[in-house]
Amino acid sequence: MSRSLSSSLALRFALLAGLVQVGSAQTTWFVDDDGCPGPGDGSVTTPFCSIQSAVSAASDGDFVLVYPGTYTDVDFAGKEIQVISFEGPGNTIIQAVGVGVRFDKGEGPGALLRGFQITGASEHGILCDGASPTIEGNRIRKNSALNGGGGLYIVGDSSPHIVGNSIEKNTCVPGMGAGGGLYISNSSPTIERNIIRGNDVFADYGGGEGAGLFIQYSTVELHGNLIINNRATDESRNVGGGICAVKSTIIGSSNTFSGNRSMRGLAVVPELPGTPGKGGALHLVDTQTTFTDTIFWNDAADLGPEVYAEGGSVKFSYSNMQGGLAKIAGRGAVSFGEGMLDTQPQWHAFHLLHQSPLVDAGSPSRRSIGTDWDLDPRAVDGNGDGVERVDIGWDEYNVVQLEVEGKPVLGGSFSVHVNAFADLHYILAGAIRTADVERPPFGAVLIGVPRVVFAKGLMPASHKVAVPNESILYGMRVSFQAFGYIPRAGRGSFSRRADFTIR
């Protein structure tokens, strides 16, 4: 093994091992709807019945940990607190009545909402007005709003960090009809690694703008998102199936747009036939935009199936644009830089296949930019030429595949499979990490020294891992990662990291 390989492995293992957090003085409040009607006192043994009771009791810096269950609307009330579900959005649900989760009292980035399903809201799934919280790992689905922003409504100089959420099937009921998924006005959000899918806008008349996102007078960072199948379906004026932006700035990288539609609606009143739909993926008015490493494929509109632009300045580079410049409407505002392609993506479920021409075709200058949605590191050397280069689109194709089969439960076992589309050797590392937050009944003092296990050989291979029946392991977070390499070539690449919690 070469020296460079050894040192990079050592660094990676140090990172795996280094996530040791020490217990803190903050208070942790517990919530469980099993205790209803409660009210409970927020302790482990007598948790609060409602999330709002815990928020009311909490002070800045506290944690609110929520057991699986069904809850109702939450107002952060200006507090810098972390509200986190134990088991993620699958079984921890905010069944909203009005506004699902409200941030409108100056909350900053220390206010965190993580791991909830927010659904059923009639006035926005999440509201940010003059607030900049962190909104992470939630499923925001089937919410609606009368005046825009079915999923998220972001106004009043807000700068939220919106990362790793799925924002799907939200709608605007007839009214203004802008921003089915997200409505953004006079704000500067960062929107990273989200799935924005199947949102709709409807309007009585004069609306139908931005089924996925509607943006005005704002500056938006938009990176690593999958924006698909959003539909502007008003009967009169439909613009921006994916995004409609007006007088704004969008800095975009590593996104995938597909299946968004902005089509002439069916005229309900025959004398008022619909005007042509514009901008299947993007409808841009007086907007400054750069998009790099982005896929625009299979969107649809009457004018500009991918992009329609009026005024402003719109620049694309290292992106895959179906139909190229010729299919863009409003070409005067649009310019293509280096690395533009117009080619079949060759993907499955929007994940690039081994033979895709978009693998390692992104901007050569962008490296070490974190991970994609499925935790593949970026950039990976996907074509085996020894150069780590980012792929085009939201997904990084990873030649080294790692899959975990089975659920890690006390006294049980699971299997780790490693494979590659090449004859690669591998090294497999696994580590028990300390939890990111306190976990009952052990508090925050967990194992400080990770247990690292190694296996090595030639792929494909499978390893069965037995979980000892030791209660101290309950709630521990475990990570596995493989490194695939060609012996003596001194290079290779890491798989995605598989993270899970022992139950």
Stretch that binds Ca ion, among 198-206, 263-271, 279-287, 380-388 (CB under 5 A): 380-388
Interatomic CA distance for residues 174 and 145, integer angstroms: 9
The rounded distance, in Å, linking the Cα atoms of 379 and 372 is 9
**119 or 419: whose CB is closer to Ca ion?**
419
Phi, psi dihedrals of residue 73, rounded to the nearest 5°: -50, 145
Which part of the chain contacts Ca ion (CB under 5 A), choosing from 9-17, 156-164, 265-273, 385-393? 385-393
Q: How far is the CB of 387 from Ca ion (least distance, A)?
A: 4
Binding status of residue 372 toward Ca ion by CB under 5 A: yes
> Minimum CB separation from Ca ion for residue 328, in Å?
27
| Exposure letters 374-390 (e unless 16+ CB within 10 A, then b) | ebbbbbbbbbbeeebbb
If one asks whether residue 382 binds Ca ion (CB under 5 A), the answer comes out as yes
Closest approach of Cβ 163 to Ca ion, in Å? 16
Q: For residue 19, what are the contacts with CB-CB under 8 A and spacing of at least 6?
A: 433, 434, 436
Distance CA 173, CA 125 (A): 14
From CA 488, how far away is CA 152, in angstroms rounded? 51
- Point out which span in 218-226, 259-267, 372-380, 480-488 binds Ca ion (CB under 5 A): 372-380
Distances (CA, A) of 308 to 260, 266, 287, 362, 451: 13, 21, 11, 23, 54
List the interface residues with Ca ion, window 351-370 (CB under 5 A): 360
How far lies 306's CA from each of 74, 103, 112, 229, 300, in Å?
38, 34, 35, 13, 7
**Of residues 53, 383, 434, 481, which one binds Ca ion by CB under 5 A?**
383
The CB-of-332 to Ca ion minimum distance in angstroms stands at 34
157: Cβ contacts below 8 Å, ≥ 6 apart: 130, 186, 187, 188
Closest distance to Ca ion from the beta carbon of 195 (Å): 13
Record the tokens describing residue 173, joined without a space. Answer: 């009921």
- C-alpha to C-alpha distances, 63 to 111, 126, 292, 436, nearest whole angstrom: 10, 20, 38, 11
Give the binding range for Ca ion (CB under 5 A) out of 83-91, 127-135, 210-218, 374-382. Answer: 374-382
- Interface with Ca ion (CB under 5 A), residue from 374, 405, 436, 470: 374
Least spacing, CB of residue 374 vs Ca ion, in Å = 5
> Nearer Cβ to Ca ion, position 33 or 395?
395
Q: Which of 142-150, 307-315, 329-337, 386-394 is the region at the interface with Ca ion (rule: CB under 5 A)?
A: 386-394
3-class SS at 14? helix
* Between 48 and 347, CB nearer to Ca ion: 347
62 makes contact with Ca ion (CB under 5 A): no
Under the binding rule (CB under 5 A), the answer on residue 381 touching Ca ion is yes
Q: Give me the least distance between CB of 254 and Ca ion, in Å please.
A: 11
Q: How far is the CB of 146 from Ca ion (least distance, A)?
A: 38
Pairing of strands 425-433, 477-486: antiparallel
Q: Which is closer to Ca ion, CB of 140 or CB of 358?
A: 358
In sequence order, the 6+-apart residues with CB closer than 8 A to the CB of 408 are: 414, 465, 467, 478, 500, 501, 502, 503
Tell which one of 380, 399, 400, 482 touches Ca ion (CB under 5 A): 380
Q: Does 293 bind Ca ion (CB under 5 A)?
A: no
Stretch that binds Ca ion, among 153-161, 162-170, 188-196, 373-381 (CB under 5 A): 373-381
Position among 62, 104, 306, 396 found at the interface with Ca ion (CB under 5 A): 396
Minimum CB separation of residue 210 from Ca ion in Å reads: 27
By the rule CB under 5 A, 391 interacts with Ca ion: yes
Look up residue 434 and give its amino acid. Answer: T
Containing 135, the helix (H) or strand (E) segment is strand 134-136
CB of 378 to Ca ion, least distance (A): 7
Nearer to Ca ion, 209 or 391 (CB): 391
Residue 12 or 247: the one with the smaller Cβ distance to Ca ion is 12
- In DSSP terms, 161 is beta-bridged to 134, 190
Task: For residue 385, state whether it binds Ca ion (rule: CB under 5 A).
Answer: yes
Q: Which is nearer to Ca ion, 107 or 381 (CB)?
A: 381
In contact, 256 and 395? CB cutoff 8 Å:
yes
The one-letter code for the residue type at 29 is W
Count residues near Ca ion (CB under 5 A): 15
Kindly state the smallest distance separating residue 395's Cβ from Ca ion, in Å. Answer: 4
Q: Are 132 and 162 contacting, i.e. CB atoms less than 8 angstroms apart? A: no
Question: Nearest to residue 229, comparing CAs of 195, 264, 253?
Answer: 195
Decide if residue 376 touches Ca ion (CB under 5 A): yes
When asked if residue 395 is in the footprint of Ca ion (CB under 5 A), the reply is yes
Instruction: Write out the binding residues for Ca ion, residues 115-154 only, by CB under 5 A.
Output: none
Residues engaged in binding Ca ion (CB under 5 A): 360, 372, 374, 376, 379-383, 385, 387, 389, 391, 395-396
